[in-house]
Amino acid sequence: MKLCRFGKPGHEKPGMIDHNGDLRDLTGVVEDIAHEALSDATLEILRKTDPMALPKVDRPVRFGPCVSGVGKFLCIGLNYSDHAAETGAAIPEHPILFHKATSAIVGPDDDVVMPRGSTHTDWEVELGVVIGTRCKYVSEEDALDHVAGYCVVNDVSERHFQTQLTGQWTKGKSCDTFGPIGPWLVTRDEVGDPQNLAMSLDVNGKRMQTGNTSTMIFTVAQCISHLSQLMTLHPGDIITTGTPPGVAMGMKPAPVYLKAGDVMELTIEGLGEQRQEVRADD
């Protein structure tokens, strides 16, 4: 299933994409795409719901973040060996963890706003994993059973804030609008193997990133298992799993970062597309 949220910011409704690609209104079936709606039991109810019996929503319409009520926005850094190489970083022994503030979350086609003083804003197409059922100390073998579904994430990053403002990466990752997610939450049964998904990102129509989740250093299952040893993962928590090569930071001979007016377009196989225009903060 492809689940989504649509409408004006702060007033999104739950939706489903039917087999014709039409948007259907799930209001009345679930309150939102959040919390208990992400459980296996509720997802099974949604699978048995005839989308053709639901109200059809005329498009175009704004898609909001595909999940609401996110408790934790957990990010795995340097999780593609070729991306680590382009940035000159060593291959990590364990998954590198940092956080994005949940206030960074926006819809897949909302503007990305560069904060005041930004000169090093960068792009990162990533596979997002949405937890569906509570897990703690889960094994790698059982880890994917706790996934509700997957989505596209643009882990937008301000590299100067990230690396030069004393502290952790979170500073450069958490600016407002730096976490577009969606357009859809695609349930795990429809995705199948999360380790074989093609992904790409274009800036102003030029291909910058091309990759595949098969080249992750730590698999989705390994990331979930590792994090669950450290903290309880709850329904609606998002784990974004790293980016392939082609970010501005790794450009040779010199990086060319985003500027106002640039357009990012990104996609992951089977998970939909995002498009964001970049603008400077007022």
Residue 255 lies in a domain: yes
Residue 180 lies in a domain: yes
CATH assignment at residue 107: 3.90.850.10
Residue 94 lies in a domain: yes
Residue 216 lies in a domain: yes
- For the segment 35-75, what is each residue's pLDDT rounded down to a tens digit? 999 999 999 999 999 999 999 999 999 999 999 999 999 99
Domain hosting 151: range is: 63-280
- For the segment 108-137, what is each residue's pLDDT rounded down to a tens digit? 999 999 999 899 999 999 999 999 999 999
How many separate domains does the chain show? 1
- What's the pTM? 0.95
Residue 261 lies in a domain: yes
Residue 242 lies in a domain: yes
Residue 9 lies in a domain: no
pLDDT tens for the chain, 282 residues long, are 999 999 999 999 999 999 999 999 999 999 999 999 999 999 999 999 999 999 999 999 999 999 999 999 999 998 998 777 777 778 889 999 999 999 999 999 999 999 998 999 999 999 999 999 999 999 999 999 999 999 999 999 999 888 888 777 889 899 999 999 999 999 999 999 999 999 999 999 999 999 999 999 999 999 999 999 999 999 999 999 999 999 998 888 899 999 999 999 999 999 999 999 999 998
Paired with 154 in beta bridges are 125
Residue 56 lies in a domain: no
